[in-house]
Structures are given as structure tokens and as C-alpha cells.
Chains A and B, each alone.
Chain A
């Protein structure tokens, strides 16, 4: 196993390099960047992104894509909020039901993609639109107020100085790493991207695995959605719009090939932090929202260009 982490080492060093350059740059040009407070702030800001990115990594490794995560975040936000307010449910069952809903959405995605054969992009595009509509219908397009105060802990609490969402994110990254590297399903996920038929002929129920990654993506995004709900403490039907773009950007920046089969969860963690640092630094520099979008787009394009060039060199 020692060798495994050395897979395409140059690429991984490149990501690490980009991260350090960004840190160095923002440290020099701003006063407040490299402070414990700001670093923890960044970590908390990226926590939802990171949690969802672990699921997205599983999907992209099988050469799929899940662009419904933004809407899953929106629907879990509203479902969670409604259960706790309108239906007066205690926190725990509300959370569990919300997560089941999120996983069920993933299952529907998975069934369409894997058993019916609709391309992942189209399935999840449809799901993205549909779910956003459902979200608005559920709450009549209005914010949901009046969540129990104790629910704030999930998104706003701390253990020591570390925000709880950050702890959850790191836990999920660790579980994600173990899952992808140390369980059979994880290794099937890697095999599916690029050698699908070979995996099937090795006697593996590939369709189940292919559907399963969407369930994972839905479920983890559900956790992210609940953390978001807890942080703003209001159900907002608009929440999560364009979230899928950030998640995909982070995963691709982290070196996961959109062709599937290549990438590591560690790289994705770096990709998540690069995305977060970029956003945070640009805010500190008072760069307008409009320019931020331009820069983010350029960064994503550069990342996939790098991916394609590396692939071409290998061929």
C-alpha cells in the first residue's frame, strides 16, 4: 500500500504547490489571512462543500456526474426545517428523515443512470430542476422560520476551538478514504471508471455499485444541507443554487479525472481548501462578486486542461 499514494505524484505535488502559492500570496497581500480565526473560518466555510465533495468524488470516479447536489441541498434544507417547525418533530427524527429523503433522491438518480441507462448528466439535470421546484412547492417559496435553538449547535457549535461542521467534514473525509481504499465496494468504484466491462466480468454487480454512488452523493449532500440549515437557522428554498458547480470544481481541482478511475480523496481535500481559500482571499481583497466568478471559472478550466494534458502525455 505504500506505493498507492504515489499515483501520479507530479500532479499531486502540483495541487499542493498551488495551495501553498495561494496561501503565500494571500498572506502577503492581506493582513488578516493567516490568522487562526480566519483559517478556522475558511475550514467552516468549506465544510459543506467538502462533505458533498466526498460523495461527488465517488460519482466522478465511476465516470458519472451528479449535478443535482445543489437542489438536494435546497430540498433537505426545507424538508428539515418543515419537519422541525410545521410538523413539530424533535431534532433527531427530523434529521434522520431528512437524510433518508436525500439518500432516496440519490437512489432515484442511481436507478435511472444505472438500470435504465439515462446519461448521468441528463438524469441529474432533470433531478436538479425537479427538486428545486419541489422545494418551492413545499414551502410556497417562502423562508421557514422558527427552528429550535438547540439545532444551532450542529452548524454553529464548537468542540474546543474547532467548529463542529469542520469536525464532521474531517470525519467524513476519513471515512471516505477508508471506504474508497479499504473496502471492496471502494475498489469496485475505482474499477468502474475505465474498465466497466472488466469489473462486470470479474463477477461484480456493477449496476448496484453504479447506483450506489448516487445514494452516497445524495446522503452526504443531505448532511451538508442540514449543516447549512443549522448555520442560517432558517429554511431557505434558494439555498444550494450553483452549489454543484463549486463541488465539481473542488473535486476536479483535487485531481479526480472526469473520465473516472483516477483520483484520491486526499487530493479532493486539497481541492476543497483551494476553492475555499480562493473565495476567502478574494473577499478579503474586496474583489467584487462578478470578478470572483470569472476567476473561479478560469481556475476550473485550468484544472481540467491540466488533467487533459497529463492524460495526453501518458498516451
Chain B
């Protein structure tokens, strides 16, 4: 490629966060009018890189040249309006109550005699939509459109603002198969207009169908950029996951017993389809899959946090119905949610209260919480789980992430759960605390608790699980025993092949 064909050139981009290098010396060029796919595991650095390009975050080192001019410290606003870089995120930036035309012209409304010039705006909006090959009435409210059309409006907004580079972050995730075809046509239309598209996707088949070149990120580094036609799916997967296993996991002890939780043909309205599996006493059952595969949704459905449309759940061979988390807790199920701060801890209450929160009944007398008893219970958990806090009265929001996680775990140990659902238990937790959580999980399994471990960290999933179920788009695509599980196999099942 010749130099004048390079639209944007990123050189030596580095971004550090406390304890982690999110981007490490990334060099990457984007050509005018190409469709450039980016792939990598969660946390590989894709999102951070995109945020650097759009000006949402500033890199610690490195520079960006746009059309041959060095640009530094620009804002998302400058990126969009001066340099023509726009990003389509999974959450759209549209105002649902306004019409398509009003959204397209938002902030830059056309006026005539101090009033909105609706006629011209509608006309121009129609032209923009037609140029993308879409015939839509610009008067329609955005809220009345399907997700696919909202996405088109979002893209139309970018092109109307003379975007030269459009970044799409998992654009096909919310779409049906039919809609994805439309999206592909649209991306090709953009390319034909000379617009560069950066296409981020977990779905490898889309990358091969659509892109001219593909770049793989891993652990904050750009590993390779190559013409898509020169590679294969297997090679991409291999590059994505080929990592030295650095973490060690505590040795597995104990025995796996009889089935305790049996899920049969479970479905939900939103995502899950015909999920069946068995969890045994003392077993650590791992759930692998990509973001949006439905693992969190499955945990929530079992826990009664979201409604189930079909299927049965058996606990100790007895069919039961769980319609509310309270009923799950009564069945001795505990959930350690993915979003610890929003869904796990009760942030303003003390560590002691958080630990006792699901067991207040047990420590109350005549309806009054026995403070001394609560203190004892909490203190015991603090000792057993090695929760680092000056005292049990410390507000839980002031503890570190790892200790907050232990507090949530302590809650379920206090309420004497038999089945514990861990959803990304070590996300955002430092390495030392991670090891402790691993040891705790193994210890719990040894004590005969049945454990579901949802994890996007491949090492954790492979290192901890006795058995792994892999999910893709709401269905279980495969089961791997500890012996046969490898990164490649998990990823392949996770991408739905």
C-alpha cells in the first residue's frame, strides 16, 4: 500500500492502568476504504485501543497520525467532527422519543425563520438513508424502530457527519441472522463510498465474510495484522489464545458425589434455549463462552432472578420452582454476581451486616438482631476467609475488591449454601487475592459444596474446573472433561462451530 492510502496510523500506543498494561506499543495502520477486523479475547486491549482512537482516553505513549497529520490530545468531539472518526457502540447514542431526522440533525438542527426547518431536514435525512440503501420514513420515532434499524440510523448519523472512519464494536451481537446480512451490505456500501470500517467481532465467520484485513490483539499487544484471505479460522483462534499459562492453581482435593442440581430443557424468553446439565456434590463445573453467550443469564435464571419460560430444575432429585432469589436461598443456592458493586455488596452497610444479610433470621431473637451474635458470625468468617478489614464494622465499600468478593462469599457460607454460583469471581481482583479465591473454591468443593464457575479467563476455567460446559448464543455447544479441555477446544465451541 502506498503512503497516501493510509487514513490513520497509530504508532507505539501504550496505555497503563494500575497493575496492568492495557496496551503495549501498538503500531497499526488503517487504509482508506478498507474493512479492517479486530479480534481478541476479553481484556486483550481492543476496547482500550478503540477508546484511544476516538479520543475517549489519552495514551501514555505513542502518537496518532490522521491523514498524515500528527494529532495529539484530541477529544471525542474533535475526533468526530474534525477528523471524521466515529464509533458505533452496542449502546446507541440515540434519543428514542425523537424522529430519525431529528436524531440525525441533533445539535445541528436546520432552522428557517427561527423555527426548525423540518421539511429540509426530512428531505436530507431521506437522502442520507437512501445513500446507505435503506428506504425509511425519517419522520418515524427512533423508539418505534427495531434494533437493526436503530443501528442503521446510528451509522447514518456518522456518514452524515462526513465520517471517514467508522468503528463498529460487536455490531452483529443484537441482530438476527437476516439483519446481519443487511448490516454486511451496509458495511460494503460504506466501503464503496471510501469509508474505512473497523469491525470488532467475536464471531470469526463474520470476519472472514467481511474483512479485507484482520488484526489480532492479545494481552494488550498487537500480535499480527494480515490480509484476511491469507489466514484461516484455526490460525486466528490459535493466535488469540496462544499464551503461556502463568498462573498455577491449587491442587484439587475431595471427591465428586451424587447429582445435586439437575437442569432440564431450561429456556428463557430472552436468550437461553434448551439448557440441560447436571451438577454434582463436590464438583466444580465450569462455564465457558464469549460475552453474551448467556452464562450470566443462566445463573440468574437458576437463581430465580429472571423468569424461566420452560424447563425444570431438580434439587436432590426433587423438582422445584424458583421464582424469586428468596426461594433460591431457601433451597440453599447462593449467587456471587458478576457485577460485585451493583449486585453483590450492600455498599454502605458494614462488612458484618453484609455477611449476615441473608441470615438475619437465624441471628435474631424476638425480631431483634443480636448484635453480639452477628459480630461473632462475621468475625469467624473474617478469620476463615482472611478478609482484610480493620474490624467487622468497616463499611464494605471501603474494602478492596477481593475482600468485597470474600464478603459476598461469606454471606453464602453463613447462610449455609450447598450450591454456589460464581459469576466471574476474580474479575478486577489483584493476583494475590485471586489465588486466595481459588483456594477457597477448592476448599468449598472439598467440603462437598457444588460449584458453578462462570469464567471468561481461560486459565482459570481450565485450571479450576472438573468439567467444562461451553455456551454460545444461549445454547450449550459442548461439554469437555478436564482431561480433554484445551483453550482451542473451548474457544472453538464458544464461537459456535
Contact = CB atoms under 8 A, between A and B. Distances in A.
Interface of A: 1-4, 178, 182-184, 187, 190-191, 194-195, 197-205, 261-262
Contacts of A1: 371, 393
B303 A201 contact: yes
Contacts of A200: 305, 325
Interface in B325-378: 325-326, 328-330, 335, 337, 342-350, 353, 357-358, 360-361, 364, 367-369, 371
A194 to B, nearest CB: 6
A303 B421 CA distance: 44
A184 B369 contact: yes
Contact of B391 (A3, A191, A204): A3
In the A-B complex, the 7 residue pairs with the closest CB atoms: A203-B329, A184-B360, A3-B393, A191-B346, A203-B326, A203-B325, A195-B346
B368 A182 contact: yes
A235 B20 CA distance: 70
Contact of B364 (A184, A199, A261, A262): A184
Q: Which of A190, A203, A204 has the most CB of B within 10 A?
A: A203
A204 B415 CA distance: 13
B324 interface: yes
Contacts of A205: 324, 326
A201 B337 contact: yes
Interface string B378-417: 0000000000000101100000000000000001000100
A194 B342 CA distance: 9
Interface of B: 303, 305, 324-326, 328-330, 335, 337, 342-350, 353, 357-358, 360-361, 364, 367-369, 371, 391, 393-394, 411, 415
B357 A4 contact: no
Contacts of B347: 194-195, 198
A202 B391 contact: no
A4 B329 contact: no
A202 B358 contact: yes
Nearest to A195: B346
Given A182-B371, A200-B305, A4 B342 contact: no
A198 B343 contact: yes
Contacts of A261: 348
Contact of A178 (B342, B368, B391): B368
Contacts of B391: 3
Contacts of B326: 203-205
A70 to B, nearest CB: 30
A201 B335 contact: yes
A190 B348 contact: yes
A200 to B, nearest CB: 6
Nearest to A192: B346
A184 B345 contact: no
B393 A202 contact: no
A261 B345 CA distance: 13
Contacts of B305: 200-201
B371 A198 contact: no
Nearest to A190: B349
Contacts of B344: 198, 201
A199 B367 contact: no
Given A184-B369, A199-B346, A201-B344, 9 more contacts: A178-B368, A183-B369, A184-B361, A187-B353, A190-B349, A201-B303, A202-B358, A203-B415, A204-B325
Contacts of A194: 347-348
A182 B348 contact: no
Contacts of B328: 203
A199 B412 CA distance: 13
Nearest to B392: A3
Contacts of B329: 202-203
A195 B345 contact: yes
A195 B349 CA distance: 10
Contacts of B325: 200-204
Contacts of B411: 202
A191 B371 contact: no
7 contacts: A3-B393, A183-B364, A190-B348, A201-B343, A202-B358, A205-B326, A261-B348
Q: Which of A3, A183, A195, A261 has the most CB of B within 10 A?
A: A195
B364 A195 contact: no
Contacts of B346: 190-191, 195, 198-199, 202
A211 to B, nearest CB: 15
A260 to B, nearest CB: 10
B368 A183 contact: yes
A311 to B, nearest CB: 12
A255 to B, nearest CB: 14
B343 A187 contact: no
Contacts of B353: 187
Contacts of B348: 190, 194-195, 261-262
Contacts of A198: 337, 342-347
A169 B246 CA distance: 64
Contacts of A202: 325, 329, 346, 357-358, 411
Nearest to B334: A203
Q: Which of A4, A194, A201, A261 has the most CB of B within 10 A?
A: A201
Contacts of B303: 201
A261 B353 CA distance: 14
Contacts of A195: 342, 345-348
A230 to B, nearest CB: 30
A63 B329 CA distance: 26
Nearest to B327: A203
A57 to B, nearest CB: 15
Contacts of B343: 197-198, 201
Nearest to B393: A3
B59 to A, nearest CB: 26
A204 to B, nearest CB: 6
B360 to A, nearest CB: 3
A310 to B, nearest CB: 14
Contacts of B357: 187, 191, 199, 202, 204
A115 to B, nearest CB: 13
A261 B396 CA distance: 14
Given A187-B349, A203-B329, A203-B358, A4 B393 contact: yes
Nearest to B391: A3
Nearest to A184: B360
A97 B361 CA distance: 31
Contact of B360 (A2, A3, A187, A190): A187
A199 B349 CA distance: 11
A2 B393 contact: yes
Contacts of A3: 350, 391, 393-394
Q: Which of B326, B348, B350, B367 has the most CB of A within 10 A?
A: B348
A9 B335 CA distance: 34
A304 B204 CA distance: 53
Nearest to B344: A198
A3 B395 CA distance: 10
A267 to B, nearest CB: 15
Nearest to B370: A182
Contacts of A204: 325-326, 357-358
A20 to B, nearest CB: 28
A278 B230 CA distance: 81
A202 B349 CA distance: 14
B177 to A, nearest CB: 32
A200 B349 CA distance: 15
A152 B345 CA distance: 50
